[in-house]
Structure 1
Amino acid sequence: MLRNYVMIAWRNITKTRFYSFVNIAGLATAIAFTMLIAAFIWSQFQVNSGLKNSGRQYIITSKWKNPNLGFPIATLGQLGKALKENYPNLVANYYRYDGITSAVSKGDKNFRENLQVGDSSLLTMFGFTLLQGDVHTALNDPFSVVITKEKAIKYFGRTNVVGETITIESFLGSKHDFLVTGVLNPISDNSVTTLVDNYPGNFYIPAANLNFFGRNMDWNNPFIVNYIELKEGVTPKDLEKPIAALQKQNAPPQITADLTSIPVPLKEFYLSADNGLVRKMCYALSGIALFILIMAIINFINMTVSRSASRMREIGIRKVLGGIKRQLILQALIESTLIVLLATLIAFLLYIPTRNLFGSILGKEVPPLYGFPLYFILFPIVFIVITGFIAGIYPAFVLSSLKSVDSLKGKLSGIKDNILLRKSLIAFQFVTATTAFTGAIIISKQINLFLSNDLGYDKEYVLSAQVPRDWTSQGVRKMDYIRDQLAVIPQVKQVSLSFEVPDGNNGGGAAIYPYGSDSTTAIASQLLTTDDHFLDVYAIPLKAGSYFEGQATDSAKVVLNETAAHALGFTNAADAIGRQVRSAGDPTIFTVKGVTSDFHFGSMQQKIPPIAVFNVQFATVYRYLSFKIQPGNIPASLDAIQKKWSTLMPDAPFEYKFMDATLANLYKTEIQLQKAAYTATILALIIVLLGVIGLVSLSIQKRTREIGIRKVLGSSITGIVSLFLKEFFAVIAIGGLIACPLAYLIMNNWLQGYAYRIEITAVPFIMAIAGLALVTMLLICLQTIKSALLNPIKALRTE
């Protein structure tokens, strides 16, 4: 009997090829999209799960009373080590590192790389394995280094490089050979080797080399990443008092007063970082995938019922020959399950070629099918059965409820008329599609704001490149000379030397207060270190005073932004000029030389903070040269800079980024969401149109005779088309009315995460509803015109 049901189901699928194709294609597309989303989300939840003892491992994050004073992902340099040494009954292990970049070379290969200068516990604590070398001793000796397999091939062309040397530059400009003592095996995504996206650690150096780089992990350094592994049964709450006691006993008072160190589980950290940005994105994508899948199932229901006329006589004959309702329901369910099975198999085939494309959209690798645990095979099986049942249960009961006489006549009037239900389902699809379309438009507008020219500075034709470090007065003078030589290139307008560029990674924070007042009145400000050309390159307007002038006297001068000037109590920018300020813990008395307009240095998620700009002549630290190049032939400009750079700094790689790319990286997650929203909108539109095909097809079948009578009585094609348009206009209107407040609530909640945001106007809603209505109406017209052009004699013979 089962074999018979399957054969009949297959015969019916092949008989109505077009509608079967539409049905299967819609389901397969939705299932493939859902699989891709599910795979991506699964991979995000797997981050850090591959670490040894990850359930007991924590990163110590920082919560500052004023967020401008430090980084959330770093804390005091000695904290992790002190917890292990003073509370061995609570803490089993620790790992700390200082993340830096420096020039790495081997022969004629020179690149700037990300380095982790950290404790020797890295490999054993997290369970990392080495392709070459001993995990227990690889990071024990000074001037040794463990590198990744990728970097071994990059610099040596092979992986068996233990015993080879590689040259690394310090921040004083000196170079030293480091002995390669290990080659790291490729490892799964984690927040240890890649704490921040696009800044993965590739070179791991023992903490004994901190002095070589001019760095430290002291109690007064709050910019060190700390990990700890707790003893079994110990909870983060057990560490609250020990952490507070250690900080109070060892850290400077100004830090202790502002800082709360909080251990966050590594299994949770990746999802919850940046105000839970990854988790929110996963939830958003899950909702999108769920609604796309529901829309496809709705289409299946409508399409199946709309084609039921071709099954009338078959059902009637089965009933006359003794077929019972249960058998008819079972046949319908088997047929729907078979269609879902075929759609799922096609979805698996679609998954393979679209995986890389979808991964590029989201900026993350989507796991291949073989990358999942074996038990995952149960999910598609359960999905096929459940979806087949859900998608087929309503058509099964509709078809099996036909009266035998009406079935033999092929009359649709015998079906319980649930047009209202089917129109409600189509309206649900319109609500989903309109919401997705509106959301995509609003997200796009917000991202355009991120990347616009309304940032407080001019990003056009600006690029930056990291330079070798020699953080001495002599090193600054040398870089000033190199900067001036590069500035005379005809294709270059201006060049600036600075420690930061506007990418959100400032050099830290400091408490600034007016000279003569108590330090308790200090404001927390972000610090920037630049030369006298920074404002020219980035075209940041001055509100009052002047900027640095390249003179030695500028070393005791400071430039504030408007927010800092107001926070210090100056009513307007001009009042701040010539006033004196101090930085907590620094005896130097600084004179305010100028006040700039406010500009966005970091993400628009936060308000523009107070910013204090110091001269590189005073704080002799720098990392970047920023170039403002002439409009026109950009490749020629880059080539000219590259040639001059190679002459002035032959051992330093010219690795540059345009500010557009820098900003795109800053808002990477938002751009990923934008691309996903556009993809979902296109899929939702396709599925809605498939649903319209099904409902219009059913309506035309039921009213074929009516169309013939209207034509005989003189009705025009326009009149017949308008008859169907009126019927669907109400569905579109109702869907739009429901979608508008829903989309507003969703997008308004999303925008709340940004201190600077667009205003939600009526335009996105009008565009979404009008676009969907136009395409839908066009599709309805094409279908009804085809029916209206038929010979009315044939239509009148239709029962």
Structure 2
Amino acid sequence: MLQNYITVAWRNMWKHKFFTLINIFGLSIGICFTLVIAVYVWQESSVNSQLRNADNQYIIQSKWKKPGLGYEMTTLAGLPQALKQNYPNLVANAYHWDGINSIVSKGDKHFQEILQVGDSSFINMYGFKLLDGDGATALKDPFSVVITEEKAIKYFGKTNCVGQTLTIESFKGEKHDFTVTGVLAKYRKNSVTNLIERSNSTFFLPAEAVKFLGRDLDSWSNVVVVGLLELKEGIKPADLVGPMKTLIKVNATPQIAANLDPYLINLQSYYQDNPVVKKTIFTLSCIALFILLMAVVNFVNICISSSSKRMKEMGVRKVLGGLRQQLIIQFLTESVLMVAIATLLSPGIYALSKPFFADLLSTEMTGILSLPYYFYLGLIAFALVIGILAGLYPALMLSSLKSVDSLKGKRDRVKDNVLFRKVLIGFQFSTAAVALIAAIVISAQIDLFFGKNLGFDKDYLIYAALPRDWSKTGVQKMERVRSELSQLPQVKSATLSWEIPDGGAVGYLQTYKFGADERQSFATTLMIADNQYANTYNIPLKAGEFFKKDYIQSDSALVVINEAQSKALGFKSPKEAIGRQFNAQYNPTFTICGVVANFQFGPMTGPVTPLMFMNVNQNNLYRYFSIKLRPGNTQADLAALQAKWTELMPGAPFEYNFMDDALAKIYRTEIQLKKASYLATGLAIVIVLLGLLGLISLSIQKRTREIGIRKVLGSSINGIVMLFLKDFVVVIAIAGLVACPLAYWMMNSWLNDYAYKTPLNVMPFGASLFSLLVVASVLITAQTIKAALANPVQSLRTE
């Protein structure tokens, strides 16, 4: 019997190919998009869950009573191993590491790479697997290195490369060979190797390598080391609070001990508790839910719309002895079959579009066969539930008609709830309008991020990481190189600095007015640069000078501050600040030689904060050349710059990025959201138009005779078109009235996270509603004209 139901269902679907195609296509696209977001949410929610003994793995976090003394995600260098040694009954294992950038070479291959220098417990503590090498001994030798599978292929063309050597450069400019002792198998995203979203470690060195690199993994004054612990079974994070405070009080400086409150977060929840991650998951989940809901509403609408065509078929079946129960099962079978086909198509569409979605969401997307079993169970349950819901109403409605009414095709006997379907269409229009308004506002805000009001000029500006020689000689060499690069006709100016304007400052200082109480201090962002920084980034100078042309030792106390720092120190104007002094903790008195205009150093989530520049010659710390190119043939200019770079610094890779790339990393989440909102808007509009098409088709079918009478009585085509437009314009108008307040509330809440935001005016609301109205009107007009041009004689014969 079931086979007969399926056969009849297939024949009916084939007979009405147009409606079948619309239904299956719309629903499969909605399911595919939902599947993509579900996979993304599952991946983000399972970050760190694959680590060995993940329930007992923790990261040490730092809460500073006075801001600017340290970072929340790092801890004191000496704390993790001290906890393991002094409290073995609480701590099963410990791992702490320092992340650095350096040049790695193999023959004539030279690349800037991210190195993670840490304890030998790294591999076994987290259960990372090696394709080659022994995890127990891989990080025992001071000059050993474990690399990822990707890097093994990059440098050696194969993964079985244990015993091969790579040359790594220290921060003193020295080079040493490191022996590859292990190749890590590809691992999923985690917070051990990928703590910072845009900084994924791929080279792992033993803690003993810090001596060669010139770093520190033991000092209790080093507050920028990542500390991780594996606790014993049954031990809670609260059990470590007392021991951590005790060790800090005994070993750290009084100021650190008085201001630092350490605490533990389980790695299972650490990544997911990030506000940005939470916000992204919630936003994308809501988008996917609404798209799926629209697709389902569309499917139900078209099922109901097309079912009334089959009234005579139902009458014939009843006359021939068909039971109502059999008719209901037939309708449900057809509906479930269509949903099943759409559901089966969606994984295929997902597989084909996976690279696109991976680029859209800036992440790797798991293959469809790698998903857990409950994904497939969910798809099966979805097909059954939606199929039954979509087919239930027309099945009950049509099977309840008398045989004679069905045979005569009297649609007026059908209790057809047009209002209900118009409400569904209104819901779809509201959702599409909200999506379109959100896309316009998000796009405008991101344009603001990349716009001209950053306080510096990012056009034709590139930056490139440098080989490290953090000594007086090293800085002098870099300044000579910078000078020669600046003389190229393609280069307008160049600067040597620790920072580019991406929020990554060298640190913070607690500063306060000269002679004031230290308790009145406030956090100031510390930057290190040469005297060409303001010129290269085109940061306006409000007073004084951006350091002297030639640095001498007596200038070591001279600093440049921004307007926010000038106001925080109590100066009425930038000119008043020139030559004045202020104090800072752990530092001598500083003298202000210049004041620059406020510029956006980090993301626009907060206002511009106090900031000061120290001369690179005083600190001997640097990371980047920033180079301002002249407008022209950019590719040719970069080629000339690379040639000169290689001549001046052989062995140093010229790996440059434009300033726009740095901003894109800062606003990665917002750019993701922008792309997702564009896609969601496109899908929403397609789905709402498909739903509108189904409703118009039903309305035209039911009013065919009316159209014929109106034509006979002299009605024009325009009059008939307006008759149908009038009904749906009201629906769209009501949908717009619902959508605008909702969209305003949503986008106003989203914009409140930014100190600088695009104005929320009437433009996105008006443009969205007008666009939807125009597109809908074109579709309605096209469908109605077709019916209005039909022969009225044929129309009048329609019951």
Q: Using structure 1 for the length normalisation, give the TM-score.
A: 0.98
The Cα of 1:374 is off from its aligned counterpart by 4.1
Whole-angstrom distance in 2 between the partners of 1:605 and 1:241: 35
Of 194-203 and 776-785, the range deviating more from structure 2: 194-203
The Cα of 1:356 is off from its aligned counterpart by 1.0
Aligned pairs (5 A) from 1:302-321: 302-321=301-320
What is the CA deviation profile of residues 442-499 of structure 1, one whole-angstrom value per residue up to 9, with x for unaligned ones?
Answer: 1111111111111111111110001111111111111111110000000000010001
Whole-angstrom distance in 2 between the partners of 1:608 and 1:52: 42
Residue 245 (str. 1) matches residue 246 (str. 2): yes
The Cα of 1:693 is off from its aligned counterpart by 0.6
Q: Which amino acid aligns with 2:285?
A: S
The Cα of 1:568 is off from its aligned counterpart by 1.9
Q: Which runs of 5+ in 1 are unaligned?
A: none
Structure-2 residue corresponding to 1:604: 604
Q: Which amino acid aligns with 1:690?
A: L
The Cα of 1:295 is off from its aligned counterpart by 1.1
Whole-angstrom distance in 1 between the partners of 2:226 and 2:112: 21
- SS of 2:272's partner is helix
Q: Decide whether the 8 Å contact of 1:527 with 1:611 is kept in 2.
A: yes
What is the CA deviation profile of residues 168-203 of structure 1, one whole-angstrom value per residue up to 9, with x for unaligned ones?
Answer: 111111111112222212111111111122321111
Structure-1 residue corresponding to 2:560: 559
Q: Decide whether the 8 Å contact of 1:554 with 1:617 is kept in 2.
A: no
Structure-1 residue corresponding to 2:332: 333
Structure-2 residue corresponding to 1:410: 409
Structure-2 residue corresponding to 1:157: 157
Q: Which amino acid aligns with 1:423?
A: K
Structure-2 residue corresponding to 1:579: 580
Q: Decide whether the 8 Å contact of 1:496 with 1:627 is kept in 2.
A: yes
Aligned pairs (5 A) from 1:293-442: 293-374=292-373, 376-442=375-441
Structure-2 residue corresponding to 1:38: 38
Whole-angstrom distance in 2 between the partners of 1:789 and 1:711: 9
Q: Which runs of 5+ in 2 are unaligned?
A: none
Q: Which amino acid aligns with 2:524?
A: S
- SS of 1:267's partner is helix
Whole-angstrom distance in 1 between the partners of 2:320 and 2:33: 44
Whole-angstrom distance in 1 between the partners of 2:64 and 2:248: 14
Aligned pairs (5 A) from 1:2-401: 2-217=2-217, 218-273=219-274, 276-374=275-373, 376-401=375-400
Distance 1:258 1:597, change over 3 A: farther
Q: Decide whether the 8 Å contact of 2:303 with 2:390 is kept in 1.
A: no
Aligned pairs (5 A) from 1:473-492: 473-492=472-491
Q: Decide whether the 8 Å contact of 2:132 with 2:183 is kept in 1.
A: yes
Aligned length: 796
The Cα of 1:62 is off from its aligned counterpart by 2.5
The Cα of 1:776 is off from its aligned counterpart by 0.4
What is the CA deviation profile of residues 288-333 of structure 1, one whole-angstrom value per residue up to 9, with x for unaligned ones?
Answer: 1111111111112211222223201111122333433332222111
Whole-angstrom distance in 1 between the partners of 2:345 and 2:625: 52
Whole-angstrom distance in 2 between the partners of 1:526 and 1:288: 38
Of 473-482 and 484-493, the range deviating more from structure 2: 473-482
Q: Decide whether the 8 Å contact of 2:308 with 2:398 is kept in 1.
A: no
Q: Using structure 2 for the length normalisation, give the TM-score.
A: 0.98
Q: Decide whether the 8 Å contact of 1:68 with 1:609 is kept in 2.
A: no
Q: Decide whether the 8 Å contact of 1:708 with 1:795 is kept in 2.
A: yes
Whole-angstrom distance in 1 between the partners of 2:409 and 2:122: 75
The Cα of 1:35 is off from its aligned counterpart by 1.2
Of 713-722 and 194-203, the range deviating more from structure 2: 194-203
Structure-2 residue corresponding to 1:698: 698
Whole-angstrom distance in 2 between the partners of 1:487 and 1:358: 42
Whole-angstrom distance in 2 between the partners of 1:421 and 1:35: 29
Q: CA RMSD in A?
A: 1.4
Q: Which amino acid aligns with 1:783?
A: Q
Report percent identity of matched pairs: 53
Distance 1:317 1:67, change over 3 A: farther
Whole-angstrom distance in 1 between the partners of 2:257 and 2:575: 35
Of 764-773 and 390-399, the range deviating more from structure 2: 390-399
- SS of 2:222's partner is coil
Of 784-793 and 45-54, the range deviating more from structure 2: 45-54
Of 277-286 and 474-483, the range deviating more from structure 2: 277-286
What is the CA deviation profile of residues 244-293 of structure 1, one whole-angstrom value per residue up to 9, with x for unaligned ones?
Answer: 232233222333344332312111122222xx212221121111111111
Moved over 6 A (4+): none
- SS of 1:262's partner is strand
Q: Decide whether the 8 Å contact of 1:523 with 1:568 is kept in 2.
A: no
Q: Decide whether the 8 Å contact of 1:62 with 1:73 is kept in 2.
A: yes
Structure-2 residue corresponding to 1:501: 500
Q: Which amino acid aligns with 2:261?
A: T
Residue 643 (str. 1) matches residue 643 (str. 2): yes
Q: Which amino acid aligns with 1:12?
A: N
Whole-angstrom distance in 2 between the partners of 1:342 and 1:162: 50
Q: Which amino acid aligns with 2:220?
A: W
Q: Decide whether the 8 Å contact of 2:68 with 2:510 is kept in 1.
A: no
The Cα of 1:99 is off from its aligned counterpart by 0.4
- SS of 1:501's partner is coil
What is the CA deviation profile of residues 6-62 of structure 1, one whole-angstrom value per residue up to 9, with x for unaligned ones?
Answer: 111111101011111111111111111111111121111221111101111111222
What is the CA deviation profile of residues 590-648 of structure 1, one whole-angstrom value per residue up to 9, with x for unaligned ones?
Answer: 21111111111111123222111100011110010000000110001101110100010
Q: Which amino acid aligns with 2:575?
A: A
Whole-angstrom distance in 1 between the partners of 2:281 and 2:394: 34
Q: Decide whether the 8 Å contact of 1:403 with 1:414 is kept in 2.
A: no
Structure-1 residue corresponding to 2:632: 632
Q: Which amino acid aligns with 2:331?
A: A
Whole-angstrom distance in 2 between the partners of 1:439 and 1:295: 17
Q: Which amino acid aligns with 2:56?
A: R
